[in-house]
Each structure stands twice: as structure tokens, then as C-alpha cells.
Amino acid sequence: MFELIKRLRRNHAIEHATAAVLMTKQRAGASIAGWASTDGFHILSNASTETVARSAEEGLARLKEGEHDLAVSPFCGTNLATAAFLAGFASMLTVRNKRVTGSFSTAVLTSLTAIVIAQPVGKLVQKHITTSADVSDVRIIAVTSSGKGKFTRHKIKTLQS
């Protein structure tokens, strides 16, 4: 189980690095989405398979060269999940506190505070829990695609020793 989580975290980091590189190669406003799996990751984009493959190779190389900040993305779903968790937790604590008057407005205020705090916390969660920039033994072994246009799904398959 630990090995599967390790693979997923590494692929998640490479997915972020690939998306970061790909964003510099596409026109402004182009959509990119991605998700990791234990055997690689997927990129949803209208970029060509060749462009995605080059971006994946460059992203992986840059992670290996020490650009570990590429493993953390401001667009990651981890940030949204962290914000939802913190806001829900803050609201629950506020509503359960019998001494707080005007609990609805206080719950809204504490939720908004939690959402603001969630941005730096989400980056930390990515860095230490959901991604791993330790990709020294990872190779990209295949890039395939299916679909057309904006919804082309590119599958980047990795091999980890």
C-alpha cells in the first residue's frame, strides 16, 4: 500500500510540473486539467500529443534538476479540498459553541477566515502529503491520447524503480 501511495504522489508531482510547462507553451486562456494515478497521469488539453510528451519530459527533467516548486500547483484540487475541510470544520466548531451569539454570522466569518488560511495550508498539504518531488528513479515510458479538441485526454505512463 505504501508503495502505491509513493507512486501516486510522484506522478502527481510530475503531472503538476507537466501542466506548468504546458501552460507556458499554450495560448492564454487554454484549458488544462490533470489527475494522477499509480501508473502515470492524465492531462486533459487540446495540445498535441507531441507537445504534451515534450512538456512531460521537460517537467520531469526540471524536477530531477531540483525545481521542486513545480510539484506544487495553485490550481490543484488539494487546495479546494483543504479550503472545504477547513471552512466546514470552522463552521462546525462555531455552531457547536453555545456561548457564541449570532452563530450564523460568526460561522460565515470563521469560514471565510479558514478559506483565506487554506491557500498556504493547501500548498503545504501538497508539498508534504499529496505530491513528492523525489522523482529521481521515474521514467516516462509512453504517451498516448484519445478524443479530439479541447477534451483530448493524454495518458502519460511512468515507470518507477
Could you tell me which of 161, 133, 153, 152 has the C-alpha nearest to residue 12? 133
Residues 23 and 6 in one domain: yes
If residue 25 lies in a helix (H) or strand (E), which one and from where to where?
helix 2-25
Q: Verify that 68 and 117 share a domain, yes or no.
A: no
Sorting pLDDT into bands at 50, 70 and 90, what band is 142?
very high
Assign 51 a pLDDT band (cuts: 50, 70, 90).
Answer: very high
Same domain, 8 and 68: yes
State mean pLDDT over 114-118: 93
91 — pLDDT class (breaks 50, 70, 90): confident
Range of the domain at 121: 77-128
Domains in the chain: how many in total? 2
Alpha helices of 26-129 — where are they, by DSSP H?
A: 49-64, 77-96, 103-125
The whole model's pTM is what?
Answer: 0.90
**59, 137: one domain:** yes
Residue 103 has pLDDT above 90, yes or no: no
Q: Describe the crossing of helices 49-64 and 2-25 by its angle, rounded to 10 degrees.
A: 120
